[in-house]
Amino acid sequence: MRVLVTGGAGFIGGHLAESFAKAGHDVTVLDNLDPYYDTGIKERTVELGRAAAAESDGAYALLEGDVRDATLVDELVGDADVVYHQAAQAGVRTSVDNPRKPNSINVDGTLDVLDAARETDLERVVLASSSSVYGKPEYLPYDEDHPTTPVSPYGVSKLAAEQYARVYHEVYGLPTVSLRYFTVYGPRMRPNMAISNFVSRCLNGKPPVVYGDGTQTRDFTYIDDVVGVNRQLLADDSADGEIVNVGSTDTIDVRTLAALVRDEIDPSLGLEYAERRTGDAEHTHADVSKARELLGYEPSTSIREGVSRFIDWYRRNRHWYEPLVLDS
C-alpha cells in the first residue's frame, strides 16, 4: 500500500513509518523537522526508516515540508491509500507558553489533511489524538464517553482536531479513526518526557526530578502496542468514524516510576522534587474496551517491562542518544 505518515520523523510517526516500510509498503514521510527537540533524533529515525525499506520490498521517502502547506498536502494525500496524521506541535507545557502554535499546527494542519482527503477515495485517515482531551477526571478509567474538559491548550487543540475528523466522517463520508494515545514511550522518545529524563539523570549519577508531590498517576503505553493497533488499521474498517482509546490499562504514580528507574540503575540515589508544572493532568487511566471490541486490541507491555526495555535500549544507544537528550 501507499502510506503517507505526516510527522513521520517524530517519535510515534517514525516507528509507524519504519514498521510499514519493513512490511513492504511504500511510505512517504512528511515532516518539517522542527527543532522542538534535537533534530539528531529525527535524523536517526529517518535513517532507520530507509534501512527498513532497503531490507524489504517497500520504499521510503522523506519530504521536508509542513502540514500547513495545503498545496503540498493535497499532492501527497492524493497519492496515498492510507494517511497516518501524526504531525503536531506536542507538549503540554509548550502549549501553555504559546497556545497559538499548537492551534495552528494541530487544528489548521489537520483541516488541510482532511480537506485533501475528502477529495480522494482514500482507505482511511488515522489521526493521532491524546488523553489530554479528557482533562479533569470525573471517574476512572476514562472511557470514550467521559466528558472532555482539557486543562491545557494542547488538549484543546487535539480535541478540536479529532472532532473535525469525526464530523468529516459524518458529513463527507471520509473514513477517519482518531486514536487517543495515553503517554506513549519507548526507544527514540522525546527527550523531555519523564521516563527519558529519569533514565538520563540516573545513568549520570543524578537523582530523578519529580515535579509536584509525585502522586500524579499515568497510563504509560509502550510504543510497540501503539504500532500494532495502527498496523491493524491499514486494512481494518471496523473503527471507521470512531474515537478510540489506546492505552496500557496499567497505571503508576510518578514517584513510584522515578523510584523504579532509580532502583534499576542506581539504588543509592535519592529523589528530588520540584514545583509542579502548569497544565499537567492529575491522573490518566485508559479503558480500552472499545479498542478491544472493535480492533482486538490487547496491550502487551506492562510499565515495569517497558521501562526495563527502554533502559536496555538507552544503554545500547547512549553514545548518540544521550548527548541529544542532555542538549534538549
In whole angstroms, how far apart are CA 103 and each of 96, 229, 247? Answer: 12, 27, 24
CA distance 229 to 84: 12
Taking CA atoms, 28 is separated from 44, 62, 227, in Å, by: 16, 6, 17
Residues in CB range of 74: below 8 A, 6 or more apart = 116, 119
Angle between helix axes 109-117 and 153-172 (nearest 10 degrees) is 10
Run of H or E including 179: strand 176-181
> Which of helix, strand or coil describes residue 120?
coil
Residue 154 known to be catalytic:
yes
C-alpha triplet 134, 284, 226: angle, nearest 5°: 95
Q: What is residue 142's DSSP assignment?
A: B
Which of 84, 134, 154, 321 is flagged as catalytic?
Answer: 154
Helix (H) or strand (E) run with residue 170 in it: helix 153-172
Pairing between β-strand 251-253 and β-strand 272-274 as defined by DSSP bridges: unpaired
Q: Of 187, 166, 185, 186, whose CA–CA distance to 177 is shortest?
A: 166
Closest by alpha carbon to 33, among 58, 6, 12? 6
Residues marked as catalytic: 154
